[in-house]
Amino acid sequence: MLITRLDRAVFEEALNMQSGYVLDFSDRTFGDFFCTEVGVDPDAPPGSSLFSAYGTSKAKRLRSFIASAQPHLVARALRALWEYRENNILGSSGPREDRLKEVYFKIVGKFEGEEHVIDSTGIEAFEADETLQELVAAIRRDLDAGRPNSGLDRLHTYCMKRFASLVVKHGGEPCGENDALHARVGKYAKALKASRNLTEMSDRIIKSSISTFESMNDIRNNKSFAHDKETLVPMDEAKFIYDSVTALLRFIKTMDAQKFED
C-alpha cells in the first residue's frame, strides 16, 4: 500500500517516533508486544524479518514493518499500538487529540480495505510433529509477508503430508513415498466415499480436485523456489491458488470434525 507523507506524519506523531523510539517501549517490550499482539517476531533473523529494511532503532523497525507487511497485519498493529497508548501513556486531551485519533484510524481503515486476506485456517499442524509445525509456520510467514508466490512449494509439501494422513485416517491404503500429490488426493477421495455419504455435488468437487492438484505438481516443479526457478507464479494467480486449495482444506477439516465427533 502507498503510504503518503501525511499518513506517515500522523502515525509518527501518535506513536512518538520522532527520536527513534516508539511510545515508551524498550527493545524487549517492543518485541514482546509484537509477538503477543500481532503474532510476528521483530527479532527474527534480518533476512526473514519484516522489520529489518530501514535500520535498527524501534522507529525504523516499525517503519519497515508498515511499509512491507501484509495490510491486515499493519492494521492490527496500529490498532493495538493506539490501544496501548491510551491505556498506558498519559497523553493530551482536547480537539487536537480527537483530531489525531480520527485521522489515525482513517489510515488504519486504508490498510484494512487494501486487499483481501487469504484464509489459512485450513492449514494447521494436524499431528504432533515438529517438522510439520515449522512447515505451517513458514507458510503463514509467507502469507503474512504478502508473498504467497514464494511459498507455493511449501503449500505443495503441506498437501502431500495432509492427504497422506487423511488417507490413513479414513481407512485407505497408505500412500507410498513416491505417490504424487494428485495420486494421494485420489486415494483420499476413494477412502472418503467409502466412509461418508456425500452429496453428489460434494463428491464431484472432491473428485475434480484431483486434476487441480495434478496441476499443482507442475507449479511446484517449474514455478517455485523448490528447484531454484527464476520465474514465479504471478501474485494474483498465487492468491487464487491459495484461495482454491485452502477452501478445499477447510471443507475437509469441517467434514473430519463432524465425522470424528459423532
pLDDT digits (tens, 9 = 90+) for 89-141: 766 677 888 889 889 998 888 887 755 667 787 898 888 888 999 999 889 88
Q: Is 123 helix (H, G, I), strand (E, B) or coil?
A: coil
Instruction: State yes or no: pLDDT of 243 exceeds 60.
Output: yes
Q: Which residues contact 201 (CB under 8 A, 6 or more apart)?
A: none
Residues 94, 103: Cα–Cα separation, whole Å:
15
Residues 184, 212: Cα–Cα separation, whole Å:
12
- Based on the domain organization, do 148 and 249 belong to the same domain? yes
- Based on the domain organization, do 101 and 145 belong to the same domain? no
Q: Give the chain's domain count.
A: 2
- Based on the domain organization, do 155 and 240 belong to the same domain? yes
pLDDT digits (tens, 9 = 90+) for 140-195: 888 877 788 888 999 999 999 999 999 998 888 999 999 999 999 999 998 888 88
Residues 42, 32: Cα–Cα separation, whole Å:
9
- Based on the domain organization, do 53 and 140 belong to the same domain? no
> H-type helices in the chain, by residue range?
5-14, 27-33, 58-68, 71-88, 95-112, 130-144, 152-169, 181-195, 200-222, 235-261
- Based on the domain organization, do 86 and 191 belong to the same domain? no
> Which one of 60, 79, 112 terminates a domain?
112
Shortest CA distance to 237 belongs to which of 245, 228, 229?
245
Residues 185, 172: Cα–Cα separation, whole Å:
11
Rounded to the nearest integer, the mean pLDDT of the chain is 85
Residue of 254 and 14 predicted with greater confidence: 14
Within a domain: 13: yes
Residues 133, 106: Cα–Cα separation, whole Å:
37
Within a domain: 123: no
- Based on the domain organization, do 42 and 151 belong to the same domain? no
Shortest CA distance to 156 belongs to which of 63, 227, 207?
227
Instruction: State yes or no: pLDDT of 29 exceeds 90.
Output: yes
- Based on the domain organization, do 78 and 136 belong to the same domain? no
State residue 69's pLDDT score.
Answer: 85
- Based on the domain organization, do 47 and 93 belong to the same domain? yes
Contact 98, 134 (CB under 8 A): no
Within a domain: 125: no
Helix 95-112 to helix 5-14 angle, to the nearest 10 degrees? 120
- Based on the domain organization, do 149 and 255 belong to the same domain? yes
- Based on the domain organization, do 53 and 84 belong to the same domain? yes
Contact 84, 46 (CB under 8 A): no
Contact 206, 192 (CB under 8 A): yes
Residues 173, 191: Cα–Cα separation, whole Å:
8
Confidence of residue 24 (pLDDT cuts 50, 70, 90): very high
Q: Which domain holds residue 195?
A: 130-261
- Based on the domain organization, do 95 and 215 belong to the same domain? no
